[in-house]
Chains A and B, each alone.
Chain A
């Protein structure tokens, strides 16, 4: 009996994410941290858990890269910002896969992201705090709590800084929800990691 052929990830999707040269380790560290944060934002905004992420990977024919919860956990734990991080690894293919998953999930939740941004714009224009809108308030709380729980310096990071980070990520998610969102994310990851020098840390993000 012939072996079943594994479905290949969409060629055009991977080709959309070009790479001029292999990132060096500190660049890769930077990329891991960024990806973990973007996924954190999706979790906090839309309640997206590992099941949804794995389902997205399956829908995109990326299950050979993101096979199960263990693999997903490893990739997220690879972020240098995480507590107790034991230098888990992530290679470029895995990073690409996560980028495609993020684009896919952001697209699925575009309406929600759009609504959150609209609320943010409205409140900011009125010089009111973002927390005043329930959608934003819940997002910011969830983001802060999860960040503090998971990240090495979680307890040391001022609340206002976390709020700013969360809102910046929210705006980024809007652009990642576009049809070419995955590509935009990939280019942004490379841009930021290019600029980051020295040891991976929050400041270098």
Chain B
């Protein structure tokens, strides 16, 4: 299933949201290639009263039409003579309506007639403009939308920014979830969440796991109470849960099975993810989110993620959730002792990763973990020490720090980058890179700006043992670099 891509452009007076499927062709292009595109354009200038904040929706070709119309109009505005024929501002205003006819013929310059339902703009005075919606008009929007000069400017910029980022294929059909009624509501819910700071995202994850955790009794055996304490210590009160969140917690039935039987709970995760956006897989960027974890466009192509018995590799942020859910799964057989501590440590390391992501908003630290362990009366020394070990550092293997140092020397955020870029790097035992997995469309776009090592190139020191550790690299737009171990 192709990756779904959400983009959001937010100049001050409007918001352009674009949802599309990422085509497999993206791997051959230098930027994401999209299909089945839908857009939602909200004229949400805070200075407008709410009843004038209208929204327009459409598909990819309509978005292109809008962009063309706006571009041509702006260029026509700019190309108007600098000097007025007559004197004074008042008379310039009087001449403005003449330019309306100057604009529409401009659209017909190439000789084709303007279709009656097409989108165009015309001036209204010299500082205002009407965006005539044509077939994009709805009951909500009316036939035209009045725009101030600043609103026109912001609209043009949002459209240009979108265009610069994506190649769009002609829409040939719609994928199932894009057709679902009320889809935008869910998308909006996700994006509302995404608009928060990283800490809010982490809090959200904590809150999503909280309802399940509360059912975990404290008198479970040591390994399970590791689960509950791993989750409890990250539970924070009241971040608003989106309506889709509780559905996610029904998934837990799978992971325990995943641990005791064949791995790879992703088949059960994916139907959920397919029908709704999965907030947990979102990197800590308000600008965009990447949907379903089962397949992410990679460099180079690969068929599936290795099932190492942990959470689906493509959905690392869900690592904490399903395993937290283990504690809640009623009647679930206690996981084998061998498996449990490593799960606890993974959950801990991932949760610690969350805390590292948003240090300013989030106060998880090792001391809280340990005090939490004490308070819960964890009676498994093994579990306790596991938690303590992974909580004091997630440089669990030296390569994590080496990777961080490597990128810290090289990472120079490109001008204007606002998204966080994330990559999963799989290492060969000799310390070279076996595989680079960009997570999310922006990461694919910017991969050659990150100083990413070439595959096979020696990179960090040789790994103890013969494993292929998988390390997450997080490159933040402010220049910071974070790394953690995803799996050994």
Residues of chain A touching chain B, judged by Cβ–Cβ distance below 8 Å, are 34, 37, 114, 117-118, 120-121, 124, 158, 160-161, 163-165, 167-169, 171-172, 174-175, 178-180, 184-185, 187-188, 191-192, 195, 202-203, 205
Contacts and interface: CB of A to CB of B under 8 A. Distances in A.
Given A121-B127, A188-B79, A178 B87 contact: no
A148 B31 CA distance: 50
Interface string B79-104: 11111110111001000000000000
What's the dominant secondary structure at chain A's contact region? helix
Nearest to A193: B79
Contacts of A37: 82
B75 A161 contact: no
Contacts of A163: 88-89
B182 interface: no
B150 interface: yes
Contacts of B127: 120-121, 124, 171
B83 A205 contact: yes
B78 A184 contact: yes
User: Which of B78, B153, B157 has its CB near the most chain A CB atoms (within 10 A)?
Assistant: B78
A21 to B, nearest CB: 18
Nearest to B86: A161
A121 B149 contact: yes
Centre residue among A158, A172, A178 by max chain B CB count within 10 A: A178
A184 B87 contact: no
A195 B83 CA distance: 13
25 contacts: A114-B150, A117-B149, A117-B153, A118-B150, A120-B127, A121-B148, A121-B150, A161-B84, A163-B89, A165-B83, A169-B82, A171-B127, A171-B149, A174-B153, A175-B74, A175-B77, A175-B153, A175-B156, A179-B160, A187-B79, A192-B79, A195-B79, A202-B83, A203-B85, A205-B83
Contact of A205 (B82, B148, B153, B416): B82
A202 B81 CA distance: 10
A7 B419 CA distance: 30
A202 to B, nearest CB: 5
B75 A164 contact: no
B161 interface: yes
A164 B92 contact: yes
Given A121-B127, A121-B149, A179-B161, A161 B78 contact: no
A191 B82 contact: no
Contact of B150 (A117, A187, A195): A117
Interface string B153-176: 100110011001000000000000
Contacts, number: 82
The list of the 8 closest CB pairs from A to B, nearest first, reads A191-B79, A160-B88, A188-B78, A205-B82, A188-B79, A205-B83, A202-B83, A164-B92
A53 to B, nearest CB: 20
A178 B82 contact: no
A93 to B, nearest CB: 22
B82 A192 contact: yes
Nearest to A190: B79
A187 B75 CA distance: 7
Contacts of A114: 150
Contacts of B74: 175, 184
A17 B160 CA distance: 17
Nearest to B12: A114
Given A160-B87, A167-B89, A180-B160, A175 B78 contact: yes
A165 B89 CA distance: 9
A51 B85 CA distance: 35
Contacts of B156: 175, 178
Given A121-B149, A163-B89, A178 B79 contact: no
Nearest to B92: A164
Contacts of A205: 81-83
A19 B79 CA distance: 16
A153 to B, nearest CB: 11
A165 B75 CA distance: 18
Given A163-B89, A174-B153, A175-B78, 9 more contacts: A117-B153, A121-B150, A161-B88, A172-B78, A174-B149, A178-B156, A185-B78, A187-B79, A188-B79
Contacts of B87: 158, 160-161
Nearest to A114: B150
A129 to B, nearest CB: 9
A162 to B, nearest CB: 10
Given A124-B127, A184-B75, A178 B88 contact: no
A118 B157 CA distance: 17
A188 B148 CA distance: 21
A158 B82 contact: no
Contact of B83 (A121, A178, A203): A203
A143 to B, nearest CB: 13
Contacts of A169: 82
Given A179-B157, A179-B161, A192 B81 contact: yes
A203 B82 CA distance: 8
